[in-house]
Structure 1
């Protein structure tokens, strides 16, 4: 059976029925040379991969915005735009695709610029089958690493599901490694961190990597339930147990049987309810409200809190025995202000998601908007960032989020924080002199005499300082 083809608006997608490759990749080729497109399409489909091709930067951006690809092979010179500019816009989409630049013109400067802008690799025409397959193999190997324990950016909360934990933070990477190690066990896990840091996502990641992944994941928000109904919510009730109990109702413990029970904000429950939860965890059985028969339950407990439970124990607001039951395996999520390297990747991820939902052609942030996000302290953490980006997408009329679309309080607060950041720090005088001389040489185009005049020192003194600081090259 030959490959099936779909052609529309200058874009062709081809699927090959070949079983030559165990791991199939989805690849986008953007090149105005029909021979290059045909060569790459033939090479990749021959090895079982799925290929889409187009000949303009605009079509390439549209396809990448609408779909998920593993790799993009992008020409440096396109009829409608510069390839480097297309690369920048593609990176701003926050997609997982690795981008390989291809060109018929040997240029070290272009290669360096492409790599600085985030290109994965750089290939020069004429292309060979061996070279393009080698770089694709490297990309797929990196993807395997990213989808295995200890991955970096784009950690799937549940394999095969769209939710992802976006991070480049070394601290978060360590946490994801802990998730991989604790998930297969039945250990009780306590996830600590401020509101909006992603505690429920971590809980889900633990559940969907456990032996209980095909059983229920039940969430109870301890901060949202009325105390008088809490016991019924957790343990269920028998018919006639109280006024209005017209039928028997299963509680969350029974609904979670065989799976994972996630207590969100467990620090908000009363001491009375804490005692009953402790008994259920210890004895693995519950009694419905109004019932006398014990019911066996098999659940894995994962809890989360934004409170300092140890301090709550010391003040008598939280049971010490329950505290130790929950902290078998503690995990602490750092606030967003302590992992600033995640702010822009998270923002781009949310831009991509909301742009698709709202049907808007917004591909990233302006440089000024990036600076505002980086200088804000994010007291509401990732949830606040997500809400800010969604609001900005609704208001934005250009292809990048501008400062004017960001919430006003965020811009004002970021400006205040930036003023503090701009307070001068003390640097060693030797270091400052070296940098200043290097700047003067750059301004003078390497001309020693001109640089000496700019610095208002004689050439002999400048030569001595150049030698001292190793600036001769």
Structure 2
């Protein structure tokens, strides 16, 4: 494949020098101003563009905007003699993937071209990697196809079109709010309001007025009447997040609403009928709170007509690959990055971790990886996880959970396969060098590559 480079700089001698430097291995075009550059871009597909920040009277940032309006995906490297932070930040914000300060080093230019030029071709990915299919990306609310997720989806489908109260439980970061939104989206109230309120985020003295509203003069500062969340959600769904943190006296008032279907504003003695579906969520053990006298048992049974419990990510590790691909595509689009694939070793690393922060933690890790990578793919070194377990704990939990029989042989084989994969990559898939670093013969290496079905 011919790799095409465009150099945009008003210094003709620099253009000539860079063209001469790169022409031996790449197809090189030059432009002395933004207008010529845009004309070339309209007629050609470039793998990478080097763009000067100061093009005579033209501002390179304006040219960058024009380039991105024509071809959002083309990698652009800004060149500048003005190494100011605001220039750097603005360039990256507009979609530049790199910036270099003049005078440019020829070796560094070649290094950048070799590093970024293949980003345009999504067919070019490292060996032993999984390609991303941007065309089939679907921004779903809840991602996963494991049995536990399918069971949850069956429950959501079954309860969505009813008006029963639902209690969604699970650890923080498991996606409880997403499930609540699915219940509303696929229910018979989908065209009506969906009103969320976090019971833990609002001070106790304000939560009652937020839920039930108040009349003018109900308290100091109440200079006009205000509707509460129940009235705003009339006909739709009210989502009570972190219900376990609701104060006891307010729990009693919520219970009366569930029993009577009517609310009473603060400062009023009139009841107002409301038609609201209640869906609540919590990461706390409500039965334990009941035993401690911190949650009303009668309210628990009113809310828990249907319970949907979300498993933690460590119990649905089959979904990690699907979630990783989803978040990589999502943040590649959001951050204007051209990520084409994920190295398979990345999935191995993610599988080994226990994810105490669940899906939310995984999302943050992948978002950071997409942000920091300077390649067209996600690599093991892009994954930043605070390892909180010792190696011994990892062995006892990971391997013992994965292999129920023939534990020793299968564990050793998995470690051996990973070592071979890493050695191959370190040596650019040179079999002789790989065999040497592993301390085995070429014949033995070939046999193991076949055994573990490793591509070369």
Per the TM alignment, residue 426 of structure 1 is displaced from its structure 2 partner at its CA by 8.4
Q: Does 1:92 align with 2:132?
A: yes
Question: For 2:386, what is the secondary structure of its paired residue?
Answer: helix
1:165-204 matches, within 5 Å, as 165-204=142-181
Question: For 1:317, what is the secondary structure of its paired residue?
Answer: coil
Correspondence for 1:299? 276
State whether residues 183 and 210 of structure 1, in contact with CA within 8 Å, keep that contact through their aligned partners in structure 2.
yes
Per the TM alignment, residue 388 of structure 1 is displaced from its structure 2 partner at its CA by 1.1
Q: Which residues of structure 1 form unaligned runs of 5+?
A: 1-55, 59-64, 67-79, 98-153, 155-161, 436-453, 455-473
Taking structure 1 as the reference length, the TM-score comes to 0.57
Correspondence for 1:208? 185
Alpha carbons of 1:228 and 1:395: their partners in 2 closer, same or farther (altered >3 Å)?
Answer: same
Q: 1:349 aligns with which of 295, 304, 326?
A: 326
Per the TM alignment, residue 387 of structure 1 is displaced from its structure 2 partner at its CA by 1.0
Q: CA RMSD in A?
A: 3.6
Question: For 1:214, what is the secondary structure of its paired residue?
Answer: coil
1:23-172 matches, within 5 Å, as 91-93=131-133, 96=136, 162-172=139-149
Alpha carbons of 1:279 and 1:359: their partners in 2 closer, same or farther (altered >3 Å)?
Answer: same
Alpha carbons of 1:183 and 1:408: their partners in 2 closer, same or farther (altered >3 Å)?
Answer: closer
Alpha carbons of 1:354 and 1:85: their partners in 2 closer, same or farther (altered >3 Å)?
Answer: closer
Q: Which residues of structure 2 form unaligned runs of 5+?
A: 1-44, 48-71, 74-119, 414-443, 445-456
Per the TM alignment, residue 408 of structure 1 is displaced from its structure 2 partner at its CA by 4.4
Corresponding residue pairs, total: 301
State whether residues 125 and 377 of structure 2, in contact with CA within 8 Å, keep that contact through their aligned partners in structure 1.
no
Q: Does 1:231 align with 2:208?
A: yes
Alpha carbons of 1:91 and 1:366: their partners in 2 closer, same or farther (altered >3 Å)?
Answer: closer
Distance in 1, matches of 2:125 and 2:331, equals 23
Distance in 1, matches of 2:207 and 2:122, equals 61
Q: 1:310 aligns with which of 266, 270, 287?
A: 287
Distance in 2, matches of 1:252 and 1:309, equals 23
Q: Relative contact order (alpha carbons < 8 A, sep ≥ 6): 1 or 2 greater?
A: 2
Distance in 2, matches of 1:181 and 1:405, equals 41
Per the TM alignment, residue 428 of structure 1 is displaced from its structure 2 partner at its CA by 6.0
Alpha carbons of 1:288 and 1:195: their partners in 2 closer, same or farther (altered >3 Å)?
Answer: same
Per the TM alignment, residue 246 of structure 1 is displaced from its structure 2 partner at its CA by 1.4
1:327-342 matches, within 5 Å, as 327-342=304-319
Q: 1:402 aligns with which of 371, 379, 395?
A: 379
State whether residues 243 and 282 of structure 2, in contact with CA within 8 Å, keep that contact through their aligned partners in structure 1.
yes
State whether residues 220 and 262 of structure 1, in contact with CA within 8 Å, keep that contact through their aligned partners in structure 2.
yes
Per the TM alignment, residue 380 of structure 1 is displaced from its structure 2 partner at its CA by 0.8
Question: For 1:409, what is the secondary structure of its paired residue?
Answer: coil
Deviations 1:95-135 (A, max 9, x none): 637xxxxxxxxxxxxxxxxxxxxxxxxxxxxxxxxxxxxxx
State whether residues 355 and 393 of structure 1, in contact with CA within 8 Å, keep that contact through their aligned partners in structure 2.
yes
Alpha carbons of 1:409 and 1:246: their partners in 2 closer, same or farther (altered >3 Å)?
Answer: same
Deviations 1:225-263 (A, max 9, x none): 100101001001111111111111111000100000111
Per the TM alignment, residue 364 of structure 1 is displaced from its structure 2 partner at its CA by 3.4
State whether residues 93 and 351 of structure 1, in contact with CA within 8 Å, keep that contact through their aligned partners in structure 2.
no
Per the TM alignment, residue 87 of structure 1 is displaced from its structure 2 partner at its CA by 12
Distance in 2, matches of 1:399 and 1:193, equals 36
Correspondence for 1:376? 353
Q: Does 1:393 align with 2:393?
A: no
1:212-223 matches, within 5 Å, as 212-223=189-200
State whether residues 157 and 186 of structure 2, in contact with CA within 8 Å, keep that contact through their aligned partners in structure 1.
yes
State whether residues 130 and 344 of structure 2, in contact with CA within 8 Å, keep that contact through their aligned partners in structure 1.
no
Question: For 2:347, what is the secondary structure of its paired residue?
Answer: helix
Correspondence for 2:50? none
Correspondence for 2:424? none
Taking structure 2 as the reference length, the TM-score comes to 0.59
Per the TM alignment, residue 292 of structure 1 is displaced from its structure 2 partner at its CA by 1.4
Deviations 1:374-432 (A, max 9, x none): 1111111111111111111111111222232222414x648665443357978569x99
Alpha carbons of 1:285 and 1:84: their partners in 2 closer, same or farther (altered >3 Å)?
Answer: same
Alpha carbons of 1:184 and 1:332: their partners in 2 closer, same or farther (altered >3 Å)?
Answer: same
Distance in 1, matches of 2:121 and 2:134, equals 20
Deviations 1:314-343 (A, max 9, x none): 221110100000111111100000000111
